[in-house]
Amino acid sequence: MGWNENFIALLEEEFKKLKARNSRISMRGFARILGVSASTVFRVMSGDLQVSSERALQMVSKLNVEPDRLNDLIFLMNHPYKITKSDKVTDNHRFVFRGSKNEFELYRNELYGLLMRLKIQSVASAQDADFELKIDLLDPE
């Protein structure tokens, strides 16, 4: 299953959860929550429209998706993470994120997805490794 199919399944699951909590919620109300038009939600969920991965993540960030489920989606999207020359990481470099709670959740989950891919790709034992990267993902204060 590709990321778009996974995204559609996630939307369907989340709509069912919302509907179980509030039987009066419509697809139009769901679209409002996602920040898109009702026609976009209908077309995406029917498979007639594929939104970009960035747009999909923006939509999903408006929902209370389980972190593992979100990370699965991010992993399937296989985002190209690129470091430009000016972004090159040096020893003891510290990155600070400033933004809204929703943006923080989205970026934290994207970073977690990347770290999970790195973990899966990592085959060297600690003894054989030339370097080690430790990252702590902390909630905003």
Would you place residue 111 in the very low, low, confident or very high pLDDT band (cuts 50, 70, 90)?
Answer: confident
Sign of the CA dihedral with 118 first, then 123, 129, and 130 last? negative
Count the residues in the chain: 141
User: Can you list the domains of the chain with their CATH numbers?
Assistant: 3-78 (1.10.260), 94-134 (no CATH)
Cα angle 51, 52, 56 (rounded to 5 degrees) comes to 75
Q: What is the mean pLDDT of the chain?
A: 76
The predicted structure's pLDDT at residue 86: 42
Supply the pLDDT for residue 95: 56
Q: Give dist(CA 119, CA 113) in Å, integer.
A: 10
Q: In this predicted model, what pLDDT tens digit does every residue of 43-102 receive, in sequence order?
A: 999 999 999 888 888 898 888 888 778 777 877 877 543 333 344 444 454 556 666 777
